[in-house]
Amino acid sequence: MPKKVLLFVKNTDRALQTASSISEHLIKEGVLVSTFVNVPEEKKRISAEEFDLAVVVGGDGTFLSCARMVAPYGVPIIGVNEGRFGFLTEVDREEAPTIIRMALEGSIKPQERIMLEAQTSSESIGGVVLNDVVLSRTYLSRMLEMDIYVNDEAVTRIYGDGIIVATPTGSTAYALSAGGPIVYPEADVLLIVPICPHTLSNRPVVLPSYSRIKLVNLSTNAYLTLDGQEGTQLKQGEEVEVKAAPFRCLIYSHPNRSFFYILKEKLRWG
């Protein structure tokens, strides 16, 4: 039976041109290709469970959007960089047909990466994320106050600009800017990273992946975001439950580039 590939494309001329070229290569090899642009009306038409592989053509934001759609169905992802940064979209467009073929043939294996599942007590928002769940202040420049629980144990009360609960994949995103550690992407852990805490003792914490985290908002100016793509204002006293999702995101990395190579190339690390 022919393999079925989802091409999920950033809505720019360059990304669409690259996707068209990739599609032509795959169709010549007998692959069934469906192309969708990363806009709300097209995302609604995607039946992710139908595909053997998702190929993202765009940047990290497009990759995160696709991951949240396809990961629950066990569909692996390859990222082709046509964005600005390209930390998750590791593959250059010239190499894309070759690496996609390797994935479809099974000659390379995907990494399994933790995702988070978040839900507010009011059920105003919820879902899965690949990078992070962020509770931050709104336009008012007042500190947030929030309580943090881990496995129902009260851990600390934080005063500051907010809190990030991140995956290892998300450790090189917002959490890194907030002073969190770089974590190897396949590590089986979760991170809690304060944003500009007003207490010197409030430092980032690394937890085992089975931890259940609860954030209790004690302020009137708090905003919750999921992977920077969905968000809602939280009421005072509202809670956010965060835990590892029951599935992993399957990601094909570039076969000739290690995590440390990407750190050096993209973040000038080391």
Catalytic residues: 60
Q: What is the dihedral of CA 224, 225, 226, 231, to 10 degrees?
A: 90
Radius of gyration for the chain, computed over Cα atoms and rounded to the nearest angstrom: 19
Q: Is 256 annotated as a binding residue?
A: no
Q: Is 174 annotated as a binding residue?
A: yes
Q: Is 124 annotated as a binding residue?
A: no
Alpha helices per DSSP H over 106-188: 174-177
CA–CA separation, 142 vs 1, rounded Å? Answer: 59
Instruction: Tell me if 56 sits within 8 A of 63, measured CB to CB.
Output: yes
Q: Is 149 annotated as a binding residue?
A: no
What angle, 0 to 180 degrees and rounded to 10, lies between the N-to-C axes of helices 96-105 and 13-28?
50
Q: Is 175 annotated as a binding residue?
A: yes
Q: Is 92 annotated as a binding residue?
A: no
Tokens of 15: 């990304």
Q: Is 252 annotated as a binding residue?
A: no
Q: Is 187 annotated as a binding residue?
A: no
Positions at the binding site = 60-61, 131-132, 142, 161, 172-177, 229
Positions at the binding site for NAD(+) = 60-61, 131-132, 142, 161, 172-177, 229
